[in-house]
Amino acid sequence: MSWNRRVFSLSLDNRKAKLVQSRRRPGRYELSVDGIPQSVVSMTEPTDLEYAYTRHIARAMDAAAEPGAPLFTVHLGAGALTLARYVEATRPGSPQLVVEFEPTLYAAVIAALPLPPGSDLRVIFGDARAVADADLPDEKPMPSSPSREWVDARFTVVDLWDAAVIRHRVASQEFYRRIAARSAATGVVAVNLLDGHPFEYSRRQAATLSSVFEHVAIVFDAEPEDDEGPLGNVVIFASDEPLDIVTTPDLLGTPRPHYLHDGPLNSWIADARIMTDADGTDSPDPDDPIWN
């Protein structure tokens, strides 16, 4: 007897989104867009994270407040809400905010994979850059502005993918300044990238975030000096306070991933240019022959 693993398949403009259940691991689901994996969720154990980059971010979340204490978390890009489910599992009832561009996809994900009862998660549908650029409270916003809810974030996850590419308008200095303005004084920002040697894009992103925040650290899934290595996830953490992954590197677990901060990070950034709205680039495209 055959088993249909597909939960749903949706057309989103010119792209196809699909949610499938694992054949070997019941309760585990993968969301993909145009065949590119976006999120993996375990409905039976939401703290069991498939991808290394999500584990890096989760460990930083664990350190961002006392165990079990509420943590106001903002997720730019929803996917299947993997990290939002992690926060709810480890810090029940934490206020969370999602900014998501695809309401149809979000509705399908929530219908197929409901959040636990009592979850305090709100969603703003729209372009993350437009929402970030909307009025802040000290700028006399319109009473109906949904961006009023995005204030004093303790932890912000920037995971804004257009299929497999990050557009430069959500990776510029101007964009990160708006995120900083919406963060708490001790807030942490985690930016998920995809890059490979010589990491020109990541170096520019690190330079850009360093121009906005006092403290920056970068975590690699692959060896940063491997000039034959493939594209891999790169996570940049930024804050105006010292970062826990720097002060307590054991947070990253074992085997510890490659990471840079302080002087070694500055040397690695070298002369990389800050990305602005006028001088930015999209992230590397995995379909570019250079990566194959």
Could you tell me if residue 2 is inside a domain? no
Residue with tokens 């992103």: 205
Q: Indicate the pTM of the whole model.
A: 0.93
Could you tell me if residue 178 is inside a domain? yes
Q: What are the φ/ψ torsions at residue 31 (nearest 5 degrees)?
A: -100, 130
Domains of the chain: total: 1
Could you tell me if residue 112 is inside a domain? yes
**Is the pLDDT confidence value at 288 over 90?**
no
Tell me the residue range of the domain where 208 lies.
36-291
Taking only the tens place, the pLDDT of each residue in 94-107 is: 999 999 999 999 99
Could you tell me if residue 14 is inside a domain? no
Could you tell me if residue 12 is inside a domain? no
Could you tell me if residue 15 is inside a domain? no
Which pLDDT does position 1 carry in this prediction? 31
Which pLDDT does position 223 carry in this prediction? 75
CATH of the domain at 55: 3.40.50.150
Could you tell me if residue 170 is inside a domain? yes
Separation of alpha carbons 88 and 86, rounded Å: 5
Taking only the tens place, the pLDDT of each residue in 125-167 is: 999 999 999 976 555 544 445 567 899 999 999 999 887 899 9
Could you tell me if residue 280 is inside a domain? yes
